[in-house]
Amino acid sequence: MFKKIGKTLTSQLFLYIVCFLNYKMFSDASSVALSHNLHGTFISQKVNKIRWKPERFGESHFFIMGSVDNVINHITLWDLCENSDDEDIYPFPVTEQAYCGDVTELKFLNPDHFIATSSSGSAHLMKLKLPDVGDPLIEPVITWKDIHYFKNGDLSPCLSLAIYEQDLVTVGEDGRINVLTTQSSDVIRSIDADSCSIQCVIFVKHNEVLTSNLRGQMKIWDLRCGNNKAASTFMLSSEPVMATCLTFHPNQRHIILAGDEMGALTTWDLRQNTLPVNILNAHEGAITEIQFYYDNPDHLFSSSTTGEIWHWSTKNRNKFKPTFDLEETNVWLAPENVKSKIEVLTLMPTVGKSINCLDVNKNKVICGCDNEAIYLINGINI
């Protein structure tokens, strides 16, 4: 299944066209100017997932990327080279690994290991090897092969992945929930959870996951129960609208945000009830990814199929002021006038193709697009 790509990468660098843009973005609503650099790298393949490699100390300069819609797809490790003499930033490929099927998700467990999932119904634990001497490698450690499949035996795409410490949960078009652990190649538990495709999954607690399906149903599952029935079910909207991505507030895991196929952003407080706290009509197209800035969750980033990437931030919040009451200060829990408490900045011009993924590291945002390009937005104001 896996095929190592050798040293030809460096000789192929001339195929990568690097464009550089400097510009300033202005928000008319807030009259606040945001200055940053936008760097685009065209790589001749669609990018479905992109993730910064976490570092134990300092900023990350490596990131991984997964491709889609190729005869042979790849997971590629990139290095971001910053030149101290000028403002140019040039990402270049370090090593890559051939991958069976479209790369549907990439998530790091730690700086050296990540999980990849595939449209061919499998999941893989991968290891990054960056030796001081010798070639860098992306090496498979564990393969959970063909864990998603339809009743007729055909393989089903694995669509989403959630990680809690060493425990994993995958969901797919087959309506199945698979519980895995990085300590074993066996499936710990498999739940025939739904009669339609499950699009997203996140951990709410160590023993609970939240899923969203094709019909717009949100379901909470208690993994300790053996009856294969959801603990609770509620709807994303009064209309049959599908959630396309889910995330939770880094400091308050009971606060859940969902982006949907109509471009709306919905917030729940799962401790209170299953009715949304607020709904924001956001992007013009489906939201492909939402991500809080982990160290300062007053900031949120979102991308869409209409080629938009936005930075959401709270207005007039003093980041040096102590926060004693998280419930009072969390704007995502405000049922009224939430729009007046948030400013939204466009981070780059609309590219006209879907931005499929994004990731944030310090003051850098990176995103992958259907126009076969990677974009780095440097100098984000956090």
Question: What is the per-residue pLDDT across 233-290, written as a single tens digit (0 to 9) for each?
Answer: 999 888 889 999 999 999 999 999 999 999 999 999 998 877 898 899 999 999 999 9
Q: Do the Cβ atoms of 174 and 122 come closer than 8 Å?
A: no
- Cα separation, 103 vs 126, whole angstroms: 13
Q: How confident is the model at residue 87 (pLDDT cuts 50, 70, 90)?
A: low
- Specify the range with the lowest mean pLDDT, choosing from 55-69, 109-123, 158-172: 55-69
Distances (CA, A) of 58 to 55, 61, 361: 6, 9, 10
Average pLDDT over residues 56-76: 93
Q: What are phi and psi of 185, to 5 degrees?
A: -90, 0
Domain coordinates of the chain in residue numbers?
22-378
Q: Is 50 exceeded by the pLDDT of residue 332?
A: yes
Q: Beginning with the edge strand found earlier in the chain, give each strand of the sheet holding 208-213 in spatial order.
A: 198-205, 208-213, 217-222, 232-235
* Category of 316 on φ-ψ map: left (φ > 0), alpha (ψ -120 to 50) or beta: left
At residue 318, the pLDDT reads 54
Q: Is 50 exceeded by the pLDDT of residue 113?
A: yes
Q: How confident is the model at residue 134 (pLDDT cuts 50, 70, 90)?
A: confident
At residue 89, the pLDDT reads 73
Locate 209 and state its tokens: 């996951």
Q: Give pTM, 2 decimals.
A: 0.87
Burial of 190 (0-12, 13-18, 19+ CB in 10 A): middle
At residue 86, the pLDDT reads 56
Q: Is 70 exceeded by the pLDDT of residue 217?
A: yes
Determine the topology of domain 22-378 in CATH: Methylamine Dehydrogenase; Chain H (2.130.10)
Residue given tokens 């990018």 in the structure block: 47
